[in-house]
Structure 1
Amino acid sequence: MSRAPLAAPDYASFPSLRGRAVFVTGGGSGIGAALVLAFAEQGARVAFIDIDEASSRSLAHHLAEAGHKVWWRLCDVRDVAALQAAINDAAMAIGDFHVLVNNVASDDRHTLESVTPEYWDQRMAINERPAFFAIQAVVPGMRRLGGGSVINLGSTGWQTKAAAYPCYAIAKSSVNGLTRGLAASLGQDRIRINTVSPGWVMTQRQVKLWLDAAGEQELARNQCLPDKLQPEDIARMVLFLASDDGRMCTAQEFKVDAGWS
């Protein structure tokens, strides 16, 4: 799928992010880790949670070696009380959050026939419910700050009618409803809320589990751009929306999918 090698990107800096407190859910690996790294490199004060202790610890150690100290905690977002406690504790440690990135998700494959009520509830408890309650936890601090930015990670998978994960598709389709349903009320306090919907991003997990010869053909057939999406490509859009550069963007969906959808 790839053509000639790309030159190293010359990415933008966002001075307005320097010193601001940022909270990322599911920040220990994949897209989440790219988000944590990108914000840290902008000089933000970053906190994240994840259920993967090894990856989270490794990321925090890597950032510390580069001079970026981050706050993190092991947390299962299915436990709403633990999620909100982590946000509140992190705010006590590094300050009220100007930015929240609702990134946590799990796109485990399943069929219509295999779904039980218990499995349904588990999928929604990971892929849908945490975003709402994370927003609920950060909004009082954003109001104290005089504004903020919430970025919800959606997906183009349901929009292109991917068939392998109906519960995930349902949960991710609701992200746009969450964004648009809160935009007017949050906007009165200058809190912006947007959706960033990635295409097929080549995280380590995606490559290991799903990228086969048929997948390569899908990429070549459906993407307008020839290069594979990387986690940092999603991070760049999130940085823009988190920064003052995106100060008049709210209630919108921004797709980063190389033209697939």
Structure 2
Amino acid sequence: MPNSISQLSPAIYPDLRGRAVFVTGGGSGIGAAIVSAFAAQGARVAFVDVAAAASEALSAQLAANGQAAPWWRACDVRDVAALQSAIADAAAELGDFQTLVNNVASDDRHTLASITPAFYDDRIAINQRAALFAMQAVVPGMQRLGGGAIVNLGSIGWQIKSADYPCYAISKSAVNGLTRGTAASLGRDRIRVNTVTPGWVMTERQKQLWVTPEAEREIDRNQCLPDRLQPEDIAAMVLFLASDGARMCTAQEFIVDGGWR
């Protein structure tokens, strides 16, 4: 498998040092890479995830690397009250959040025929509703700070007409609507809202479940670049959008997919 991740040299953003950052779904995969990237910048990071063991391991790893251990809590984001309570408790300890990364998602495969109203509501609760209510929870603090950055994670899956997850496609297509639908009103308070849209990222979950030899050939056919997308590639774009270097970027979609779409 082509791979140049060892050549990746993350940029340093001095303005991110000391900033409070909240990440949903930060315990593994892309979320863990985002948490790690902000920790490496010296940010004060908090995250939630349902996977307690993975979250504890990530926290221990960052502390072993000499970085500040992140604040984290095991939380099912389908429980809006629990999510907003976690954000409030983390802010009480770390201060108001200047950055929110809405990363949490579930791309479990399913067919159109198998969908029930309960399953649909469940997918929307994870992939769409959590982002809206996380934004609602952090915005007052960003207003007190005089600005902030919200980064919503999308997906090229619905844009390239991927099969086998219609509820995921529906919810991820709504991410751009959330970004575009809030950027104008929040912009008056210098709160920026952008979407980062990943391609097929080689997380451990993806490699274990869906990256088959046939999938590898599909990637080779469709990406312009031969290398495989890594979680760190997505984290790099998120860092930029959170930084002052992106101070005039809002209401936009930034695609990181190796040129697939």
Tell me the TM-score normalized by structure 2: 0.98
Amino acid at match of 1:134: A
How far apart are the structure 2 equivalents of 1:8 and 1:148?
A: 31
1:180 deviates by: 0.2
1:115 maps to: 115
Q: Counterpart of 1:126?
A: 126
1:174-185 → structure 2 map (5 Å cutoff): 174-185=174-185
Whole-angstrom distance in 2 between the partners of 1:158 and 1:69: 36
Residue 201 of structure 2: aligned partner? 201
Shift of 1:9: 2.0
User: Which amino acid is 1:132 matched to?
Assistant: L
1:128 partner SS = helix
Counterpart Cα distance in 1 of 2:77 and 2:61 = 24
Q: Deviations over 1:146-196 (max 9, x none)?
A: 000000000000000001100000000000000000000000000000000
Alignment partner, residue 82 of structure 2: 82
In the other structure, the counterpart of 2:53 is: 54
Q: Deviations over 1:26-63 (max 9, x none)?
A: 00000000000000000000000000011000000111
The verdict on how the C-alpha distance between 1:128 and 1:66 changes in structure 2, with shifts beyond 3 A counting, is: same
Structure 1: gaps (5+ residues): none
Q: Which residue of 2 aligns with 1:8?
A: 7
Q: Does 1:24 align with 2:23?
A: yes
The Cα offsets for residues 95-152 of structure 1, whole Å up to 9 and x where unpaired, read as 0000000000000000000000010011101111000000000000000000000000
Give the 5 Å matches for 1:212-251. 212-251=212-251
> Which residue of the partner structure matches residue 142 of structure 1?
142
Cα separation, 1, equivalents of 2:213 and 2:165 = 20
Deviation at 1:8, TM superposition (A): 2.3
Considering only aligned residues, what root-mean-square deviation do their CA atoms show, in Å?
1.0
Question: Distance between the aligned counterparts of 2:2 and 2:81, measured in 1?
Answer: 45
Superposition deviation, residue 76 in structure 1: 0.2
Query: TM-score of the superposition, structure 1-length normalised?
Result: 0.98
Task: Give me the whole-angstrom Cα distance separating, in 2, the residues matched to 1:193 and 1:148.
Answer: 9
Which amino acid in the other structure matches residue 159 of structure 1?
A: Q
Which letter does structure 2 place at the counterpart of 1:118?
A: A
Q: Tell me, in whole angstroms, the C-alpha distance in 2 between the residues paired with 1:22 and 1:113.
A: 40
Conservation of the 8 A alpha-carbon contact between 2:5 and 2:230: no
Q: For 1:71-90, what per-residue CA distance to the aligned partner results, in whole angstroms no more than 9, with x for missing partners?
A: 00000000000000000000
Same amino acid, percent of matched pairs:
69
Q: 2:44 is matched with which residue?
A: 45
2:31–2:103: 8 Å Cα contact kept in structure 1? Answer: yes
What is the CA distance between 1:209 and its match in structure 2?
0.1
Match for 1:128: what amino acid?
A: Q
Matched position secondary structure for 2:8:
coil
Q: Distance in 1 between matches of 2:10 and 2:250?
A: 23
> Residues 6, 110 of structure 1: CA spacing in aligned structure 2 closer, same or farther, 3 A cutoff?
closer
1:11 CA drift (Å): 2.0
Provide the C-alpha distance between the structure 1 equivalents of 2:6 and 2:165, rounded to a whole number of angstroms.
36
Runs (5+) with no aligned partner, structure 2: none
- Give the Cα separation in 1 of the matches to 2:77 and 2:8: 34
